[in-house]
Amino acid sequence: MSKPIAPRVLDWFDTFGRKDLPWQKQLLPYPVWISEIMLQQTQVSTVIPYFERFMLRFPEVADLASAHLDEVLALWTGLGYYARARNLHKTARMITQDWGGALPSRQADLMTLPGIGRSTAGAIAAICYGEAVAILDGNVKRVIARHFAISGWPGQSKTAQALWAHAEAQTPSARVADYTQAMMDLGATVCTTKRPRCFACPLETSCLAKKGNRIDEYPGKKPKRAKPKKSTAMLIIRTGRGDIRLVQRPAEGIWGGLYSFPECGVEDLETLLPSTAITQIHLPAFKHQFTHFELSIQPVLIDIQRRRDVSRVPNEAWLKPDQPPTFGLSRPAERIIKAVAQYPLP
Ligand code: SF4
């Protein structure tokens, strides 16, 4: 059994760790929770402006709980993985109703809330309340997998169990808040996915991946399977004033609750084009990747004179040019709206 890593990681953190990120100012549970959710799948530099806007609009849990979901999704637009925003909103309401307005302090209780998994619950409990529990976010997984040479893809339960066992064994009972932040920081700034800076790492002398010159093998990659391919056409109806019609997606499923364009099969396009169309332009097609399939999107810009030239559809909203949306947009809708701006009104 090698020496515990905590003393070296803490020493490193004292000198090099980041301590001035916006959510580190006071390490209160609400901002730490918001930052932890935003940081899932997203880098710190991208998260910071989103976090600041979010906290300005929803400074307390109660503000988030009483907000309309559309507004929460609007502030999330661009961050992706919108289930995170929907769960934040749902959880804020549960905290207000069932927990007296304060986040629970124990990892086990935090894990009962929507969108808060074992690692996020561990991070909040350790950082804000000093509970000596382990975390295993993407950054920590990488450090642990490399340092202890844990092979296999972390998505497989055997590998995940081994990683958790090591993470737990290394978690100290003293200074657990600092240790937790230090491990996340080490993964984010030194033991990076590509070109880790082992020369600056406090664990270099005991790191098994480094010793065996096999850093690239850890953590193991997800076994590759060809993704199914799907295709769709998106109909962008634009009026003579430049208003663009969007439609809210159903609450569940892809882009749930966000606004996007009405869709149809590419083969149905001709039959669905409104007879009042002045022009129709096929914009450049593009691909959008989901974790479980690839979607080819053919946007079609249809110019009409007035809104009433097309029949109303349920849950429609019109976006005026040069006005920021007050609702969340799907990623492709955002991209298409930018592209449409390049096409002058007829
Ligand atoms: S020595 Fe290199 S590979 Fe090992 S934990 Fe440190 S940065 Fe990562």
Q: Give the atom of ligand 1 at the shortest distance from the alpha carbon of 201.
A: 6
Where in the sequence is the domain holding 327, given as residue range(s)? Answer: 229-340
Specify the length of the chain in residues.
346
Would the CB of 86 count as within 6 Å of ligand 1? no
Alpha carbon distances (Å) from 265 to 231, 268, 281, 310, 313: 7, 5, 16, 19, 18
Tell me whether residue 60 is one of the annotated catalytic residues.
no
Task: Tell me the per-residue pLDDT of 193-252, one tens digit each, with 9 for 90 and over.
Answer: 999 999 999 999 999 999 999 999 999 998 888 899 999 999 999 999 999 999 999 988
Above 80 in pLDDT, residue 284? yes
- CA 24, 30, 34, 37 dihedral sign is positive
Q: Whose CA is nearest to atom 1 of ligand 1?
A: 204
The gap between the terminal CA atoms of the chain, to the nearest Å, is 73
Question: Which atom of ligand 1 is closest in space to residue 196's alpha carbon?
Answer: 7
Q: Please tell me whether residues 105 and 200 are part of one structural domain.
A: yes
Task: Give yes or no: residues 274 and 157 share one domain.
Answer: no
Q: How far is the CA of 222 from the centre of ligand 1 (A)?
A: 21
Of all residues in the chain, the percent with pLDDT exceeding 90 is 80
Shared domain for 67 and 177, answered yes or no, is yes
Question: Count of domains in the chain?
Answer: 2
Same domain, 84 and 172: yes
- Give CA 331 to chain center in angstroms: 12
User: 185 CA to middle of ligand 1, Å?
Assistant: 13
Residues 79 and 179 in one domain: yes
pLDDT digit string (tens) for 70-115?
999 999 988 888 899 999 999 999 999 999 999 999 999 999 999 9
Is-contact 221 284, C-beta < 8 A?
Answer: no
> Ligand 1 centre from 203 Cα, in Å?
6
Question: Does the Cβ of 203 fall within 6 Å of ligand 1?
Answer: yes
Domain closes at, from 192, 217, 242: 217
Q: The CATH number of the domain where 321 resides is what?
A: 3.90.79.10
**Are 204 and 242 found together in one domain?**
no
Same structural domain for residues 206 and 267?
no
Residue 142 CB burial class (10 angstroms; 0-12, 13-18, ≥19)? buried
Q: Are residues 233 and 318 in the same domain?
A: yes
Angle among Cα 48, 50, 56 to the nearest 5 degrees reads 100
Centre of ligand 1 to C-alpha 220, Å, is 15
Contact 303, 279 (CB under 8 A): yes
Do both 203 and 275 map to the same domain? no
